[in-house]
Every structure is written in C-alpha cells, then in structure tokens.
Amino acid sequence: MKTLWDISPPVHAGAPVFPGDTAYTQQWVASIGPGCPVNVSAITLSPHVGAHADAPLHYDPNGLPIGEVPLDTFIGPCRVIHAIGVGALVMPGHIAHGMADLPPRVLVRTYARMPQSTFDIALPAFAPETVELLADRGVQLIGIDSASIDPASSKTLDSHQVIRRRGLRVLENLLLDDVPEGDYELIALPLKLTTADASPVRAVLHSLP
C-alpha cells in the first residue's frame, strides 16, 4: 500500500516557466579528475520554477520574504480535492463535495495530467470567492497543480490579494496526477532564502495512520 506521494515536478532545463521568468540552468564549476575530488555545480533559476511557495513579498511590497515566513503552516494535516477539467477558474461549487470538516491545508487538483514540458498559458486558477470561502472555513494554506492561483493573464492577481488580506500561505505547481482525493499529512518546506519572494519546495504527502 502506497504511503508517500512525491508531489513535486522534476526541475531541469526544460521545466516550464512563466513567460519572461528565469528558466533553470546548470553549469559545472568543478569536475572530478586529477587534483579535484568532487563535482560541483552552479544553478540559476526563478524561485517559481517547479513546486514552490510564494512569500507575501511576491504580491505585497511590504510583505515578508520567504525566509521569514513561519514554517508551521507548511507541515500538517491536508486535504486533496479534485476539480479536474472545470475550466479557467475553480469555483466554490467545484470543491463543495470535499468541504466537510476541512483540515487547515487544502490542495486542489485541476489537471488530469499536469503539463510538464510547456507552460499552460490557459492555466486553471482559483476564483477569489473560492479562496475567501476556504479562509472562512479556517484553511491556512491552499495549493494548486497549476503554475498560479490566478490566471496567467491577470494584472490584478485577485486571488493573491485575498491570501494577502486573509493571511494564507500558498503552494503552486504541485504534481497531483496520481493523488486520490482524501486526507494526508503535507510536508512542503521552503528554503530559508532571506530576501526572496518565493522558494522551491520538495512537497510530499504522507498517508495518515
């Protein structure tokens, strides 16, 4: 019986990024050979590549950087709710079947198969009223398997502004293809990047006892 789900997509040079964002690149600065006992690489990437946690600084000029965000919200009981193929916005009715006795963390699966080779410019996002409803129910962290909780074309980032105002944390670009609906333990810790607006996470779900 499966007890652990890795919900982080692979990060590599071909990993999709938001148009104009910094893709993953890697170079070797040392290689094992005569006089050198180790391989050492240098990497460059946007902190929004792959599964990641946005910091308040990403959508609030006075918000905390990710290295100052408390970690407790990123660990603990979590529910996965399916809203597969519902269209551009996840509305409250799309997740109503999974709203009873919610834990503090909710991840929503929108894709049957998450796109991992190209950026989905028509990505599914949260309607702001859905985020408001989850906050009203005591949810402290929301997550989605698309690259953003707002449409890619949005200039107002309405759902991000709801999490700013309501104090929620967010995970984006999760890989939920093989995760059944239900309750789990989430572990998705960001790096302690002291000035960054986001951080990659290695997100996993663990089955509950």
Q: What is the pLDDT of residues 55-101, one digit of tens each?
A: 999 999 999 999 999 999 999 999 999 999 999 999 999 999 999 99
Active-site option among 58, 82, 94, 160? 58
Mean pLDDT of the 160-177 span: 98
Residue 68 DSSP SS3: helix
pLDDT (0 to 100) of residue 209? 86
Q: Decide if 58 is catalytic.
A: yes
Mean pLDDT of the 175-191 span: 98
Q: Is residue 35 part of a domain?
A: no
Strand 141-144 relative to strand 182-187, pairing: unpaired
Helix (H) or strand (E) holding 164: helix 158-166
Q: Is residue 21 part of a domain?
A: no
**CATH classification at residue 88:** 3.50.30.50
Mean pLDDT of the 23-50 span: 98
Is the full-model pTM beyond 0.95?
yes
Q: Is residue 20 part of a domain?
A: no
Q: Is residue 17 part of a domain?
A: no
CA distance 4 to 26: 29
Residue 54 binned pLDDT confidence (cut-offs 50, 70, 90): very high
Q: Is residue 136 part of a domain?
A: yes
CA distance 128 to 206: 29
Q: Is residue 201 part of a domain?
A: yes
Helix axes of 128-136 and 158-166: crossing angle, nearest 10 degrees: 20
Residue 1 binned pLDDT confidence (cut-offs 50, 70, 90): confident
Range of the domain at 86: 4-9+47-207
What are the DSSP calls for 125-159, one per residue?
EE-HHHHHHHHHTT--EEEESSS-SS-TT-SS-HH
The residue type found at 35 is G
Q: Is residue 18 part of a domain?
A: no
pLDDT digits (tens, 9 = 90+) for 120-153: 999 999 999 999 999 999 999 999 999 999 999 9
* Residue 110 Cα to chain centre, angstroms: 13
Query: Quick count: other Cβ atoms within 10 Å of Cβ 125?
Result: 27
Q: Is residue 62 part of a domain?
A: yes
Indicate the number of domains in the chain.
1
